[in-house]
Amino acid sequence: MDVLIIEADDQRAIDIGDYLTQHGHEPDFASDSRLAVRLCEMYRYDAIILDPDPPRLDDSTLCARLRADMCTQAPILVVCDDASDNPDAESNHLNCLSAPAALPALYERLEAAVYRKRRNAHEICSASLYLDPDLIAAHCAGETVPLAPTSYRILELLVRWHPQVVTRREIENTVWPDAPPASEAALRGHIHRLRHLLAEVGGESLIRTVHGVGYQLADRASA
C-alpha cells in the first residue's frame, strides 16, 4: 500500500511509519497541511492516516480540501483514542473514518478500508460496467467483454481514477513503466480498441476523451 501519514508529532509519525514498513509498505510523511496537499497533488495514495487535529488550511479543513478541491478518493483515517469499533464509523471530519490509536488496531482498520476501496473500485464507475480481475474482463450491460492485459490495465486505471480525468502521461507511465511508447499512437490504438469492444455491448460512450489532457470514464453509457 502507498500510505501518506499526516502527523505533526514526529515520534508518533515514526512509530506509525515503522509499523507499516515492518508490514512491507513504504509510507510518505507530511508534518503540516500544505506539504500534505503538495504530496497529494503529486502522488495517488491508497490511504491517508491523519492527525486528529491537523492545522487548518486557509479557510477550510484539510479533509475538506482533500475531498472537495482535490477529489481525493483514498480512505482518510483520523486517529482517535476513542475511535468506534465500527470500521465504517465517520469521524467529525468530512468523509473520514475514525481509527484507533493502537498500532495493530490502526493497521487492521487501514487494511479493511483499503480492501473495501479496491473492491468497490471495480463497480463504482457506472451502473453498466464493472471489472473482473480474475477473468481479466469487463462486464458491461450484462455481457462479459474479454480484454487483452494492456487494455485491462488501462480500463482499470480509468476505473480507479473515476470520476477524475487521467492524463495520457499517467496512463503511459502506469501501463508501460519501463518503456513508455515514443508516440501517442499506441495509447490511442488501445483506447480505440476498448471503445470498440464496449460498443458491442452498449457501452460506446463510457470512455471520454478530454482533449489536450487525457481520458475519463463516464458515469454511464449514453442510450
Domain boundary among 121, 142, 164: 121
Q: Is residue 73 part of a domain?
A: yes
Q: Is residue 53 part of a domain?
A: yes
Alpha-carbon distance of 222 to 127, in angstroms, equals: 12
Radius of gyration of the chain (CA): 19
Enclosing domain of residue 167: 129-217
Report the CATH number at residue 175. Answer: 1.10.10.10
Output the pLDDT for position 193.
Answer: 92
Of 66, 105, 65, 112, the closest CA to residue 88 belongs to 112
Output the pLDDT for position 86.
Answer: 45
Output the pLDDT for position 67.
Answer: 65
Are 197 and 101 members of one domain? no
Alpha-carbon distance of 109 to 105, in angstroms, equals: 6
Are 135 and 117 members of one domain? no
Count: domains in the chain? 2
The beta strands (E) that lie in the chain are given as: 3-6, 28-30, 47-50, 76-80, 97-100, 129-132, 137-140, 143-146, 166-167, 207-210, 214-217
| Cβ neighbours for 108, distance < 8 A, ≥ 6 positions apart | none
Tell me the H-state helices in 44-94: 62-64
Output the pLDDT for position 60.
Answer: 54
Of 110, 104, 107, the closest CA to residue 45 belongs to 110
pLDDT tens string, the chain, 223 residues long: the values are 889 999 988 999 999 999 999 999 989 999 888 898 888 878 878 899 988 765 555 545 777 777 654 556 678 898 886 655 444 444 444 457 888 889 999 999 999 988 777 665 544 444 467 788 778 888 887 788 889 889 988 998 888 787 788 899 889 888 888 787 888 898 999 999 999 988 888 776 789 999 989 999 886 544 4
Domain boundary among 121, 141, 173: 121
Alpha-carbon distance of 49 to 79, in angstroms, equals: 7
Alpha-carbon distance of 94 to 5, in angstroms, equals: 17
Output the pLDDT for position 138.
Answer: 86
Output the pLDDT for position 134.
Answer: 73
Q: What is the pTM of this model?
A: 0.54
Alpha-carbon distance of 134 to 148, in angstroms, equals: 13
Are 97 and 26 members of one domain? yes
| Sign, CA torsion 147/148/149/150 | negative
Alpha-carbon distance of 217 to 106, in angstroms, equals: 33
Q: Is residue 168 part of a domain?
A: yes
